[in-house]
Structure 1
Amino acid sequence: MNYRHSFHAGNSADVVKHSLLIALVRALQHKPGALTLIDTHAGCGLYDLGGDDAQRTGEATQGVLRAFADANPLLDDYRAAVHAVNGGDEPRLYPGSPQFLAQLLRPQDALILNEKHPDDASTLRGAMRGTGAAIHERDAYELWLAMVPPRTPRGVVVVDPPYEQTDERARITATLAAAHRKWAHGVTVIWYPLKDSATHQRWKAQLRRLGIPKFLVVEHWLYDSEQPGIYNGAGLFIVNPPYAFMQALPPLLEASRAALAPEGHEGEILCGWLDD
């Protein structure tokens, strides 16, 4: 599966991912200690919703535009972060994860971004100018392992690949296992598309065999029944989610489900521990 983000910016997966990312970082910031935020597949940082790529799919209409049309105050933080990169009421630009993370930084926090594709890395540098982010142009999995544990007492690694390579899941699994051995208490967020449930169940079985405790699974299924061969939503694996985040999660997930349910479908967001 090729998930180049310029084609999918602001879709339903982004709404869930970025809403939860905001809640997760803010929960960690209940404590004053410094955080290092690491994004291994940072992309371009900012996306034009009126551009050819985004217009070709039109996915923002079922994602960020639905979130903006919804009145639930639990989505206010997400909407405010999107508003921050836009001048008007309706979003014309969509912030990638680096922009969301940069908006959350406190003076004591650090942001490390990585993008291997040279053109995207160049665009990223322009989009993140003035944020203080350190930007790398390296293999994502090599960087992930090299950057943990971070210099600060706590941190978050965000892994959001395009799933262009057939071995993407295998590399994530192997790198997560190695990173966890180095940094057992670190928080890791791994995004993935939901398209083939059989493939996904096999991957979860492989991850379960790693024996990592506190391994949360959040899955947002758009359609009420199996839709073979098409994109059916997305999920997040979250290792070591903080307690305050877990307390806030159920109502936030329900708000997201209600706002994003496709016409004629209720949608579903499942949340539980991998080893349950």
Structure 2
Amino acid sequence: MNYRHAYHAGNFADVMKHAVLALVVAGLKRKETPFFALDTHAGIGAYDLEAPQADKTGEYLGGIARVLDAPDPPAELEPYLAVVRSWNAGGALRRYPGSPELLRGLMRPQDRMALVELHPEDVETLRSRFHGDRRVGVHHLDGYTAAKGLLPPPERRGLVLMDPPFEVRNEFERLLAALHRTRKLWPNGITLAWYPIKGREPVEAFYREVAGQGGPQTLAAELLLRPAEDPFKLNGSGLLVVNPPWQLRENLDRILPWLAGTVAPAGGSAQIRQLIAEKPLGP
């Protein structure tokens, strides 16, 4: 309960995670039928980059600030960047939309989302922020177990975003259990799960466990600031994608190398790994 995302809002990991989230939503919006989004670790929804927390770390300067200043971003980033710009009228970067406000900025009138937050102060901030928006439900719950009461949704289409703080040692184990539960409850839902990349071995062990669980097609996208050799540094950002929508892999191939070169020009890299292949069609 010590983690507060206000210190890290808009950093390179946020940019990567939210850019992919916007691509997934764009895929869902190809159909007129409504979709449902579940954000299991919602935070406070949006962040003041001039507040003491963000100013103390300055992490956004190496993330969203560099991306907004870079020339000729890939067209696939435009839905994400349009929402960020809408929060910063006049061009000066002062605010950053977290995943709840990013989702709200991308949703249509027929779509719906549930925001889950365990921190007692943060959940009240969420309730105040989204009060009156009938498309949004706010729940004071443990994000890892929220799926049990909120899935499957009546919409049948949609996504789950898991963005745990990774402040305890067994976070990968908890995330694996939540992924298994979510796939069982909602086999056709898209699931995005964020994780930090510090040392290489914990991430590789996580990948082996995910692949061993089986299930639908699963990708692992990585954006690295530097090689993952020092387990005491945040060397990169990873995002697991279960049931990736059509053309997501091709879109990731275009945006991730550009993001790596933008936020880490001295040695950034990106890769996409297929952990579980798409099941072949029967005869």
TM-score scaled by structure 1? Answer: 0.93
> C-alpha distance in 1, partners of 2:36/2:222?
26
- What are the Cα deviations for residues 154-179 of structure 1, in whole angstroms up to 9, with x where unaligned? 01000001112223221221121122
Q: Which has the higher contact order (CA 8 A, sep 6+)?
A: 1
Name the stretch that deviates more: 212-221 or 119-128: 119-128
> C-alpha distance in 1, partners of 2:147/2:92?
35
Report the equivalent of 1:176. Answer: 179
Report the equivalent of 1:149. Answer: 152
Report the equivalent of 1:236. Answer: 239
> C-alpha distance in 2, partners of 1:202/1:73?
34
Structure 1, unpaired ranges of 5+: none
Report the equivalent of 1:261. Answer: 264
**Secondary structure of the equivalent of 2:180?**
helix
- What are the Cα deviations for residues 83-141 of structure 1, in whole angstroms up to 9, with x where unaligned? 22223302201110000000111121101101111101111223334543110001112
Residue pair 2:194, 2:237 contacting (<8 A) in 1 also: yes
Residue pair 2:49, 2:94 contacting (<8 A) in 1 also: yes
Residue pair 1:145, 1:175 contacting (<8 A) in 2 also: no
Report the equivalent of 2:224. Answer: 221
Given the superposition, is the C-alpha separation of residues 61 and 149 from structure 1 closer, same or farther in structure 2, using an over 3 Å criterion? same
1:273 partnered with 2:250? no
1:63 partnered with 2:63? yes
> C-alpha distance in 1, partners of 2:248/2:143?
26
- Aligned ranges 1:35-74 → 2 under 5 Å: 35-74=35-74
1:88 partnered with 2:95? no
Report the equivalent of 2:123. Answer: 121
- How much has 1:275 moved relative to structure 2? 4.0
Report the equivalent of 1:186. Answer: 189
Residue pair 1:219, 1:236 contacting (<8 A) in 2 also: yes
Given the superposition, is the C-alpha separation of residues 248 and 156 from structure 1 closer, same or farther in structure 2, using an over 3 Å criterion? same
Given the superposition, is the C-alpha separation of residues 90 and 129 from structure 1 closer, same or farther in structure 2, using an over 3 Å criterion? farther
**Secondary structure of the equivalent of 1:209?**
helix
**Secondary structure of the equivalent of 1:150?**
coil
Q: Which stretches of structure 1, 4 residues or more, deviate above 3 A after TM superposition?
A: 129-132
Taking only aligned residues, the RMSD between alpha carbons, in angstroms, comes to 1.8
Residue pair 2:224, 2:235 contacting (<8 A) in 1 also: yes
Which amino acid in the other structure matches residue 11 of structure 2?
A: N
**Secondary structure of the equivalent of 2:44?**
coil
- How much has 1:244 moved relative to structure 2? 2.9
**Secondary structure of the equivalent of 2:22?**
helix
Structure 2, unpaired ranges of 5+: 278-283
Q: Provide the aligned length of Structure 1 versus Structure 2.
A: 274
Residue pair 1:46, 1:99 contacting (<8 A) in 2 also: yes
Residue pair 1:253, 1:269 contacting (<8 A) in 2 also: yes
- What are the Cα deviations for residues 9-48 of structure 1, in whole angstroms up to 9, with x where unaligned? 0000111111111111111111112100110000011111
Report the equivalent of 1:111. Answer: 113
**Secondary structure of the equivalent of 2:257?**
helix
> C-alpha distance in 2, partners of 1:141/1:251?
32
**Secondary structure of the equivalent of 1:243?**
coil
Report the equivalent of 1:79. Answer: 81
> C-alpha distance in 2, partners of 1:201/1:77?
32
Which amino acid in the other structure matches residue 185 of structure 2?
A: K
Name the stretch that deviates more: 232-241 or 166-175: 166-175
> C-alpha distance in 2, partners of 1:201/1:247?
23
Residue pair 1:217, 1:237 contacting (<8 A) in 2 also: yes
Which amino acid in the other structure matches residue 122 of structure 1?
A: E
Residue pair 1:33, 1:153 contacting (<8 A) in 2 also: no
> C-alpha distance in 2, partners of 1:84/1:253?
23
> C-alpha distance in 2, partners of 1:112/1:54?
26
- How much has 1:258 moved relative to structure 2? 2.2
